[in-house]
């Protein structure tokens, strides 16, 4: 068994494919030397961050940002529990697809607002949770690749890190305004992504298990590049979930559908409730892509009316 991050899959399969091809031809595989090793990365990461207790070091400045940004933040949103329909602890997943038309509409909104598919889906999930009574100060986590230097692109290993995006839904903003807030929060967080999450936990008192809600972005194109290799890539359910609720989606690098999954703790949501949440998320995305200027209160009213009639 090998434990690697998502971004290691392509170079790993590429090297395996090259190795099998070489052995079939009766020769040893040959690869050009990598510019750096994982050990180089570990040493570089320690050197560039410096002493985290030094407020003037790079790591110290990043930690100061996280202390200020996450100060007095709630441990997690009050998630919409399913009550007696929930089951024993475990993980369930509801898959759904944003069709090509919806993808194009959401992508158009992202381009018009200088944002990204991730930011639009993040904003929509935050708005939906607020509509369900989760509050307006939402810590939502995501995973970053941690490969901030192009020399790391072909290394196999674990570089990823968790960052927390404190999402402000207060004041009845329009969806466009919420999206602008999420954009600012996300870009600021990405500029300070190098401090390991466990150090942020120590400095801020965050729960060590991480955020209760996550949004995870994958690039579908990277998976497609594995076709024709020496093996296949399969998602294997673990029966557990790190976060209480995770929105995971695979974005193609072009036209086509967006494949999504809503992974939920089964003692929080039953399958039917998770499906309703996924359905509402799709409706919300189509609605705000058509008109992002609507205040959230109007969207919530329309969502409540729709819920009563569906």
Residue 81 has pLDDT above 80, yes or no: no
Q: Do the domain assignments include residue 145?
A: yes
Q: What is the pLDDT of residue 241?
A: 62
Give the confidence band of 268 by pLDDT, cuts at 50, 70, 90: confident
Give the confidence band of 189 by pLDDT, cuts at 50, 70, 90: very high
Residue 290 CB coordination number (10 Å) = 10
Domain count, the chain: 1
In this structure, what CATH number is given to the domain that contains residue 42?
A: 3.30.559.30
**Can you tell me the mean pLDDT for 73-92?**
71
Spatial CB neighbours of 63, under 8 Å, sequence gap ≥ 6: 52, 195, 199, 200, 203
Greater pLDDT, 265 or 242: 265
Give the confidence band of 59 by pLDDT, cuts at 50, 70, 90: very high
SS3 sequence, the chain?
CCCCCHHHHHHHHHHHHHHHHHHHCCCCCCCCCCCCCHHHHHHHHHHHHCCCCCCCCHHHHHHHHHHHHCCCCCCCCCCCCCHHHCCCCCEEEEEEEECHHHHHHHHHHHHHHCCCHHHHHHHHHHHHHHHCCCCCEEEEEEEECCCCCHHHCCCCCCCCEEEEEEEECCCCCEHHHHHHHHHHHHHHHHCCCCCCHHHHHHHHCCCCCCCCEEEEEEEHHHHHCCCCCCCCCCCCCCCCCCCCEEEEEEECCCCCCEEEEEEEECCCCCHHHHHHHHHHHHHHHHHHHHCCCCEHHHHHHHHHHHHHHC
Q: Of the ranges 37-46, 88-97, 118-127, which is most confident?
A: 118-127
Q: Do the domain assignments include residue 144?
A: yes
Asked whether the beta carbons of 244 and 78 are under 8 A apart, the reply is: no
99-124 tens-digit pLDDT? 999 999 999 999 999 999 999 999 99
Q: Do the domain assignments include residue 1?
A: no
182: containing domain? 6-309
Q: Is the dihedral of CA 206, 212, 213, 214 positive or negative?
A: positive
User: CA nearest 268: which of 79, 74, 131?
Assistant: 79
Least confident of 42-56, 121-135, 149-163, 242-256: 149-163
**pTM, full prediction:** 0.85
171-185 tens-digit pLDDT? 999 999 999 999 999
**Can you tell me the mean pLDDT for 225-240?**
53
User: CA nearest 203: which of 191, 193, 195?
Assistant: 195
Taking only Cα atoms into account, the Rg of the chain, rounded to an integer number of angstroms, comes to: 21
Residue 220 has pLDDT above 90, yes or no: no
12-31 tens-digit pLDDT? 777 888 888 888 899 998 88
Q: Round the average pLDDT of the chain to a whole number and report it.
A: 85
Q: Do the domain assignments include residue 184?
A: yes
Give the confidence band of 229 by pLDDT, cuts at 50, 70, 90: low
**Can you tell me the mean pLDDT for 193-208?**
90
**Packed helices 271-290 and 296-309: angle between N→C axes, nearest 10 degrees:** 130
Residue whose tokens read 């400095």: 203
Q: Do the domain assignments include residue 143?
A: yes
Q: What is the pLDDT of residue 222?
A: 47
**Can you tell me the mean pLDDT for 209-216?**
91
């Amino acid at each position: 068994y090998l434990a690697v991050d998502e971004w290691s899959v392509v170079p790993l399969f590429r090297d395996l494919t090259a190795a099998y091809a070489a052995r079939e031809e009766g020769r040893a595989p040959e690869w050009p030397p990598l510019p750096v090793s994982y050990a180089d990365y570990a040493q570089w990461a320690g050197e560039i961050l410096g002493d985290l207790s030094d407020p003037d070091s790079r790591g110290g400045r990043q930690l100061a940002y996280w202390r200020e940004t996450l100060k007095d933040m709630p441990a997690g949103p009050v998630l919409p529990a399913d009550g007696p329909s929930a089951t024993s602890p475990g993980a369930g997943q509801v898959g759904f697809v944003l069709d090509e038309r919806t993808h194009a509409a959401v992508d158009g909104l992202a381009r018009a607002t200088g944002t990204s598919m991730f930011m639009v889906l993040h904003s929509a999930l935050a708005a939906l949770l607020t509509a369900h009574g989760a509050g307006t100060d939402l810590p939502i986590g995501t995973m970053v690749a941690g490969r901030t230097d192009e020399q790391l692109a072909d290394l196999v290993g674990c570089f990823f890190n968790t960052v927390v995006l404190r999402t402000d839904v207060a004041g009845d903003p329009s969806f466009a305004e919420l999206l602008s807030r999420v954009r600012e929060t996300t870009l600021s967080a990405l500029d300070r992504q190098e401090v390991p999450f466990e150090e942020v936990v120590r400095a801020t008192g965050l729960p060590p298990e991480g955020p209760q809600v996550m949004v995870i972005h994958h690039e579908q194109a990277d998976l497609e590049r594995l076709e024709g290799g020496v093996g296949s890539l399969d998602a294997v359910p673990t029966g557990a979930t790190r976060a209480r609720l995770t929105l995971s989606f695979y974005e193609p690098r072009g036209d086509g559908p967006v494949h999504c999954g809503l992974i939920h703790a089964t003692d929080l949501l039953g399958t039917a409730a998770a499906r309703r949440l996924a359905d509402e998320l799709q409706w919300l995305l189509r609605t705000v892509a058509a008109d992002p200027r609507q205040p959230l209160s109007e969207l919530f009213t329309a969502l409540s009316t729709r819920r009563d009639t569906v």
